Structure 1
Amino acid sequence: MRTTTTAHRVRRTVLSLTAALLMPLGSLVALASPAQAAEQATATYTRVSDWGGGFEGKWTIKNTGDTAINAWTLKWDFPSGTTVGSFWDADITGSGGTYTAKNKSWNGTLAPGASVSFGFNGSGSGSPSACTLNGRPCDGSGGEVPGDKPPTAPGTPTASDITDTTVKLTWSPATDDKGVKNYDVLRDGTRIATVTGTSYTDSGLKPGTSYGYSVRARDTADQTGPAGGTATVRTSGGDGSDPGGEYVNLTYFTEWGVYGRNYHVKNMVTSGAAEKLTHINYAFGNVQGGKCVMGDSFAATDKAYTADQSVDGKADTWDQPLRGNFNQLLKLKKMYPHIKVLWSFGGWTWSGGFADAMKNPAAFAESCHQLVNDPRWKGLFDGIDLDWEYPNACGLSCDTSGPDVIRTMAKAFRDKFGDQLVTAAITADASDGGKIDQADYAGAARYFDWYNVMTYDYFGAWDKAGPTAPHSPLTSYSGIPKQGFTSDAAIRKLKAGGVPADKLLLGIGFYGRGWTGVTQKEPGGTATGAAPGTYEAGIEDYKVLKTRCPAGGTVGGTAYAHCGTEWWSYDTPATIAGKMAYARQQGLGGAFSWEISGDTADGELVTAMHKGLNG
């Protein structure tokens, strides 16, 4: 490893390129301010040193004109397999193999004849190409005036006509003041074609394989714009040997999400989440009149999908027997054979029917088995998830059936469902005399495949005056409002009570809970009520909070943020990594999330769970 002098090390600000790539796409490409007419400059590249799988690269920018340069922006391409890691004396961002370096606040001005250098550490053996400095070729040969902006990013590709070996891509066009000449199609960051239109069919692909596609435009001055969003596409076929990992990585997909949230089964493909998930719980079916019944039949079986909305790029027809989420999930399972799908019944709103249904456990289980395995959606469901909130305790309604009711229900469903999966979502209240103590979860565990332990919603703005506290703490901390309200306390109590560790999944909320009227940054502050949310006061998706109110601290193994008068808590990729390490250390069966639509468009939380569980 190369060493540096102390003076040089002080000047360096070594940043992670990964963090830069998590910035919004629009911030990835910076444009230099318009230069003076006589501005001229060159940029030269040197590979300073190599070590094993890495190297140090250096760019030197020289003002060869007769007027000062007040800012500089250098762009270049690296071939696939060559990447930038840490860097210094410039701010570097990258997308699709194209890198952009912009001056720091202290080295942007160059007098005539002056020069400045910046460097980076990288991996791979490639050399830079397509270099431009303030919009001109790096050799100083002229080119279009720097004020001529490159094209905008084209739209994210839409996949259709997906087969074992081909996929058709279409995208919305880019714009440019001089006109767009053509488009580069990128597969997994490498250019595979240049086309003049807004569609391309890729061929020669492997069956049952996922690919990431994006597109960038080039204008008539041969300036290349930024790549648009990436679409993850999986070819059909394959042998199904693509599991998400040895641990369970489960998410809930909500039936109603196809409406206001505009989240559909295909989003699990385009985000890259599907290849990392092992199980999907479809939420929710209802429990009424002692039976399992469908929730929203239109969303489940009737909603028609166009080709661009469909998992496999094929539109629904008016006369096909099954449409909606169920048909899309069947297509998803065909594309990702390792995924198992369970139908979840109950939930907070629809748990009230369980007590009545348990007056005849065998009939209840029979009704659910018939619905889950209905021939109309044959092959869709691999089992059932029972989300009773809560047996022999209170949720939206109260149950007084006694502690044995959960064990009785579990046995009845195991007897009926046989080898199919039978799971349950259960309380995480580990306080003395709390909900875990009210039911025989250990006795029922012998019949369930696993428990989804709902280790979230411990604290929130239902206590409108506070104190502010994270809704999903992993561990306790000084000042926590109630003992036993942590993930660790719940897991330890369940294990101590006799539930096998590998039948416990740790819960992760893909959302935050927050208060308003808060002046204190740290937890424990007072509040005046619930912070505003998109769908409900006091709750907001992670994908919104990460930019609206970025996390500024951690407590109890989870993150919190204070923005203006609002205070929020939620999990981030970093805190999820810590929680997944805990799940492995405790010997748990894996983890699950509520619920998938709260994740970002590129699935960063699902990815964090997958990486954290499987290394």
Structure 2
Amino acid sequence: MRFRHRAAALVATLALPFTGLVALAAPAQAAAGATASYTKTQDWGSGFEGKWTVKNTGTTTLSSWTVEWDFPAGTKVTSAWDATVTNSADHWSAKNLGWNGTLAPGASVSFGFNGSGSGAPSGCKLNGGSCDGTSVPGDTAPSAPGTPAASDITDTSVKLSWSAATDDKGVKNYDVLRDGAKVATVTGTTYTDTGLTKGTDYSYTVQARDTGDQTGPASGARAVRTTGGGGTDPGQPGSKVNLGYFTEWGIYGRNYHVKNLVTSGSAEKITHINYSFGNVKNGQCVLDDSFAATDKAYTADQSVDGVADTWDQPLRGNFNQLRKLKAKYPHIKVLYSFGGWTYSGGFGQAAQNPAAFAKSCKAVVEDPRWADVFDGIDIDWEYPNACGLTCDTSGPAAFKNLTSALRTEFGSDYLVTAAITGDGSSGGKIDAADYGGAAQYLDWYNVMTYDYFGAWANTGPTAPHSPLTSYSGIPTAGFNSADAIAKLKAKGVPAAKLLLGIGFYGRGWTGVTQSAPGGTATGAAPGTYEAGIEDYKVLKNSCPVTGTVAGTAYAHCGTQWWSYDTPSTIAGKMAWAKSQGLGGAFFWEFSGDTANGELVSAISNGLK
């Protein structure tokens, strides 16, 4: 890939004038370590091509290199090859790739870039020392410190602590960064930040510096909200959770991306995101679609922070966009959700060795390429000891055993949650597994209080797919939110560990003549992606609400009959959730909402 990009840049400039050599640092005659020299190889007026050459002029092997320089305002790198090039304002840095960092004595390597503007580089540094080879440290940059932990949080201060970085020549000190800006340099692995504003969100990272003044990569980010200000840290005890599912595959046909959470205004109002779904294969958690998760390149206009991905950066895709989202909205916590309707078949094998399953899940969540992205794990097993897409026969204790192993493996610093059935019928799916016993290991349950009725019963009777309560004529007793929540409470699940589920879509039939629920049908109504199901953002205009039943809405238009939640019915459901002492609400899923996030807003407003 790197050669294709380079070739494209060269072909575009072949016929343009060739400029002379611009030497920033001539090779030293008695070099102590290494040199870096620059040439402008092409110039076409509005832009240019530059090349840096790094040469090991010392007597020992150079294991890595980083070239730094300053450009005058208006001059910048637009694309690069054979190095990872980054910048902070007008200060630029180029670091070797995995394959070209090692230089034997006398060896050299070059990397190039296309640029815009007319300025020349200045202030060159190689591995933190002079580019003329007189003071180049021969060591490598330090490793990233551990993600800082936060304690002793007050209205105006927070204590941070982190595990030490490593370096071959020793770590000199650490830079503490708040919201990306350095606030302190310390020699130890703790720091108390003061002078903060109460009730405010902050994001902290730490970078190590070695004895040669090389800085290493930043640690993972730690989100902190100071106390006071009339609020608490979202997701912590005493606050309400507003969690949405973000689907990995939504970037394709639905064209829904992480940036949509920003443009819709939803990012400000949610507390948690469940990234769905990781797969469960051979009893282990595995990444499902690596292109969507880690590889897809985003242009500047598609990206959360307006910065385009480069072809050679270590992480792209949804995970990198979520990382950027968390930097912009540090109150948001992200969980990696495994399973779902399609991938739940693997949980039966996982239940045969819960400890091995939990270990595999943590390995995925803590992959060093994206360890800072995830704050926990969610298990969506549909359904333990019952039937979903396939039927499970693991027994009533399997779910409890699995959640116990997850908590043991992940510990108290991670969120561990589960999406579970909303079947409140006697002898139904809630009765099939030990949800009461498993609750002690989980932060909360996402109770799927939707999909009770739909066009899989193709002749009806028509019924709302997400009734809050029972009603006269309901096709199946116990198929409603109130009965499901009551049954879970009766099994010993604390109300604060229960989240009410909201669907951002409707389910519908066709061939219906009766407006009220209970009518007959001839089949599933047409849908954009699947018959019998349609997004709220479509239905609110294509089939407006006719009436309400059992705390939700229904609509009869022509021969179609749909049921779905609206901002008004969501307000009623949130009031009910608060009256029950529930921990909050969750929804499936973001892309069904309007472009201005009116359903997310309804949940947020209703939980206040």
Is residue 434 of structure 1 aligned with residue 428 of structure 2? yes
Q: Secondary structure at the match of 1:591?
A: strand
User: What is the distance in 2 between the residues matched to 1:607 and 1:383?
Assistant: 24
Q: 2:460: which partner in 1?
A: 466
The correspondence of residues 265-414 of structure 1 with structure 2, limited to 5 A, is: 265-414=258-407
Q: Is the 8 A contact 2:449 2:500 kept in 1?
A: yes
Which of 462, 475, 486 in structure 1 is aligned with 2:480?
A: 486
User: What is the distance in 2 between the residues matched to 1:455 and 1:536?
Assistant: 21
User: What is the distance in 2 between the residues matched to 1:525 and 1:599?
Assistant: 28
Q: 1:41: which partner in 2?
A: none
Letter in 2 for 1:358: A
Q: 1:573: which partner in 2?
A: 567
Letter in 1 for 2:375: D
Which of 510, 513, 519 in structure 1 is aligned with 2:513?
A: 519
Q: Is the 8 A contact 2:203 2:330 kept in 1?
A: no
User: What is the distance in 1 between the residues matched to 2:422 and 2:251?
Assistant: 29
Q: Is the 8 A contact 2:224 2:331 kept in 1?
A: no
The correspondence of residues 20-31 of structure 1 with structure 2, limited to 5 A, is: none
1:358 Cα offset (Å)? 1.2
Which of 587, 591, 601 in structure 2 is aligned with 1:607?
A: 601
Q: Which runs of 5+ in 1 are unaligned?
A: 1-162, 165-206, 209-233
Q: Secondary structure at the match of 2:399?
A: helix
Q: 2:555: which partner in 1?
A: 561
User: What is the distance in 1 between the residues matched to 2:485 and 2:224?
Assistant: 36
Q: 1:595: which partner in 2?
A: 589
TM-superposition CA deviations, 1:159-193 (whole Å, max 9, x none): xxxx99xxxxxxxxxxxxxxxxxxxxxxxxxxxxx
Q: Which runs of 5+ in 2 are unaligned?
A: 1-87, 90-178, 181-200, 205-222
Q: Is the 8 A contact 1:428 1:436 kept in 2?
A: yes
The correspondence of residues 158-169 of structure 1 with structure 2, limited to 5 A, is: none
Q: 2:489: which partner in 1?
A: 495
Q: Is the 8 A contact 1:290 1:353 kept in 2?
A: yes
User: What is the distance in 2 between the residues matched to 1:327 and 1:273?
Assistant: 19
Q: Secondary structure at the match of 1:311?
A: coil
Q: 2:411: which partner in 1?
A: 418
Q: Secondary structure at the match of 1:376?
A: coil
Q: Is the 8 A contact 2:458 2:523 kept in 1?
A: yes
Letter in 1 for 2:465: H
Q: Is the 8 A contact 2:272 2:335 kept in 1?
A: yes
User: What is the distance in 2 between the residues matched to 1:542 and 1:295?
Assistant: 27
Q: Secondary structure at the match of 1:353?
A: helix
Which of 498, 503, 510 in structure 1 is aligned with 2:504?
A: 510
Q: Is the 8 A contact 1:244 1:276 kept in 2?
A: no
Letter in 2 for 1:379: D
The TM-score with structure 1 as length reference comes to 0.61
TM-superposition CA deviations, 1:373-393 (whole Å, max 9, x none): 110102100010000000000
1:244 Cα offset (Å)? 5.5
1:236 Cα offset (Å)? 9.5
Letter in 1 for 2:606: G
Residue identity over aligned pairs, in percent, reads: 75
1:484 Cα offset (Å)? 0.1
1:235–1:366 CA distance, 2 compared to 1 (3 A): closer
User: What is the distance in 2 between the residues matched to 1:339 and 1:369?
Assistant: 20
Query: Pairwise CA RMSD of aligned residues?
Result: 2.2
Is residue 538 of structure 1 aligned with residue 536 of structure 2? no
User: What is the distance in 2 between the residues matched to 1:472 and 1:321?
Assistant: 42
1:290 Cα offset (Å)? 1.3
Count of paired positions: 388
User: What is the distance in 1 between the residues matched to 2:319 and 2:241?
Assistant: 22
1:240 Cα offset (Å)? 5.0
User: What is the distance in 2 between the residues matched to 1:400 and 1:357?
Assistant: 12
Q: 1:191: which partner in 2?
A: none
Q: Is the 8 A contact 1:244 1:610 kept in 2?
A: no
1:350 Cα offset (Å)? 0.2
1:442–1:235 CA distance, 2 compared to 1 (3 A): closer
The correspondence of residues 221-240 of structure 1 with structure 2, limited to 5 A, is: 240=225
1:533 Cα offset (Å)? 0.2
1:401 Cα offset (Å)? 1.1
User: What is the distance in 2 between the residues matched to 1:554 and 1:443?
Assistant: 36
User: What is the distance in 1 between the residues matched to 2:353 and 2:517?
Assistant: 47
Q: Is the 8 A contact 2:511 2:522 kept in 1?
A: yes
The TM-score with structure 2 as length reference comes to 0.62
Q: Is the 8 A contact 1:235 1:335 kept in 2?
A: no
Q: Is the 8 A contact 2:496 2:582 kept in 1?
A: yes
